Structure 1
Amino acid sequence: MLIRAYDDSDWPALCRIHDAARLDELRDSAGLDAFLTLEQTAEGEGLFDGQLWVAETDAGVTGFVALDGDEITWLYVDPAHYRRGIGRALLRHALAHTGDHAEVTVLDGNPPALALYRSEGFVVQETRTGPLVGNERFTATGHIMRRQPG
């Protein structure tokens, strides 16, 4: 697996990955009716505000991670490639580019994401319920997690 900087030619793959994985993320949190495509949300949610990397395997681009300062703002893996270490590799790559502390928000109802972040030293610091970022017509509960090196 190669983790490299995003290139504009990766856009179709990012859309495909996000749109498939986002359904899994929303299913047990805000609900599937809250789904919006990456094309609809990328700019408003700041996908390109910081650093953006993709994971490339023999199957092509299979995941991506975005980092804005010390906040991991996006991390998605193609559902056809779940549980193969891609998400962990992307997370570790992003963490190598953070300062002393890293932060992420994980939707309640997404146990695989919570488990991944916990296994990498993240701890829930706060839980908030409010408008779903990117589709504020819906309510969601998010766990703000922080990691301190150690």
Structure 2
Amino acid sequence: MAACTAQGLARRILSQALFARTRLPVISSRLSSAESASDAPSPAASAASVRLSDACVQQLRRLAADGSALRLAVDGGGCSGFQYVFSLADLDAPLGPDDVAVERDGARVLVDAVSLEYIRGATVDYHEELIRSAFRIIDNPQSEQGCSCGASFSIKIE
């Protein structure tokens, strides 16, 4: 029982910290080479572990014709503790100081460094159904479980 309480407390603390982060203003700039030369894995190296499915690439290339890129973030909330948030961003907008661009065949996804840690190893997909079409995250090795609609997840606590 104590382990369950400790995990719940850890999830609440992480959720509150992540939720507080989302309210900070974003300052536009690019990552410098000095920042990526540290001993920790660089955001660009972590971005390589995020994959874009063929369906995602096709839809993003259609959107890129309109000058849009996909912005992906992880926020506190949802029925499982964290939720994926997708929005459109200007393709030519400069990257924020902690933003990483994941690109494949002309498709571009922008992710901040904090959110990237919660989706490292996952695949960004685009799925069409009879009643909706949406971007989604599939095969996220950082998540322990998710809700049935796939919009929220809980993280693995090691």
Relative to the length of structure 1, the TM-score reads 0.28
Return the structure number with greater strand share: 1
Query: Scaled by the length of structure 2, what TM-score is found?
Result: 0.28
Task: Name which one, 1 or 2, has greater alpha-carbon Rg.
Answer: 2
